[in-house]
Structure 1
Amino acid sequence: MSTNEEVRAPARTDSVDPRAARVRDRLRQAAFGLIEERRVERISVSDITQRAGVSRQVFYQHFRDRDDAVAQAVAASFRDLAPGDGVREDPRAVIRRLCDFAARHDRLYRNLYPSAASQQTANAYRDVLHPACLRLVEHLPDPMTLADFVVGGIIEVLRLPAAGPGGPVTAESLRRRVDACLDVVGRR
C-alpha cells in the first residue's frame, strides 16, 4: 500500500466495533443488491447510502469509493463460501459452491465486468480458490504453478458467461466447465 493509500484508507474498514461492523455489512449488502440490478458504472455512492440508510460521511468512513464498496461486498460473499482456511474440507466442495454462487448471481458477473471493481473482485476470488486448487494439485510436480493455472482456468470459465449474451447460466453448466479444468490436472 502506498503512502497516499494509507492516508486515504477509511478509518473503520477493519473496526471490530459491533456497531461499525453492522453499518459496514449494511453498506456491503446495499452494494451487492445494486450490482445485481445494474452495471457498476450506473451505481453511485448516493445509491448505496440511500439503500443502506446511512449518510455519505458514514460511507466514506468504511470505503474509499463506490468501486471499493462493490469489490468488498462481492469479496465478502466469496469468503462466506469458503470459511476458514479450506484445509479441512474437500477442495472440490469449495469450487462447486463457487460455481453455484456464480450461477445464482450471473447478473452480478455481467454487471461487474468490465469495471474498476472487477480486478479487486478477481483477486478476492483467487484468494478463496487458491488454497482449494493447491490441495487438488499438491501431488503433482510444481504444485504452486499448477494451482495458479487451475485458478486462472476456473476464473476464466466462470467469467465467460458474463462476457457474452449466451443462454442462462446454470450451476450444472459451470460445474461441467470447471470439471474439464480439473481433468487437465487429473483430479475430478
Structure 2
Amino acid sequence: MILGITYSHISIEQDKQSLEIRRYSRQCLNKIRSFGDQIVQGRVLASGYAGSLLSVISTASVIGSQNDQEIHSALLDIKEFLDVLHNGRQNDSYKSQPQFPPQTKLINQFNEQLEEEEGLEEIEAQVISQRYNQNFTDFSKETKSAVLNIFIFFKRLQSPPDSDSDDDDDDDERWLFDKYDDD
C-alpha cells in the first residue's frame, strides 16, 4: 500500500509540473501573439495555439474548481484571439502593436482546429456548468458568441449574394451575437 501512495504522490506532482509547463508555454504563446503581426498570428495558430487553449479548458474542468482561473484565462484568450482575427488590429496609441487587416484565412484555420478538438462542445460545457460564478459564465458565453459569429461569417461568405437587396449594409463586418443567450 505504501508503494501505491508513493506512486500516486509522484503522479500528482508530475501532473502539477506538467500543468505549470503548459500554463507558462501558453502564456509565452499569448505574449508572442499579442505583439505579433499577421504572420506571427498564423505561426502561433499553426503551432497548435487553439488546441493548447482547449486542452486547458478540458483538463482544468476535470481537475476541479481550483483551476477556474485557468479556464477563465483560456476562454478569454480564445475570445481575444478571435476578435483580433475577425477585426484585424488597428492603430492604438497606447500599445505598440503592428497593425493588420482582418485575417479570414486564419479564422477558417482556427475554426477547423476547434472542430477537430471538439472545442465548441468544451466551451458549451462551461456555459452549462453550474459551479462557476456569473462573471465566469459571462466569459464562456462571450467566447461561444465569438465562435458562433465566425461560423455565421463563413456561412455568409459561402452563400451567393442576394441580388434583390439594395442595402449597402455590410453585415459581414459586424458581430451578430453580442452575448450567447440560453433563453
TM-score normalised by the chain length of structure 1: 0.35
Work out which structure has the larger RCO, using CA pairs closer than 8 Å and 6 or more positions apart in sequence.
1
TM-score normalised by the chain length of structure 2: 0.36
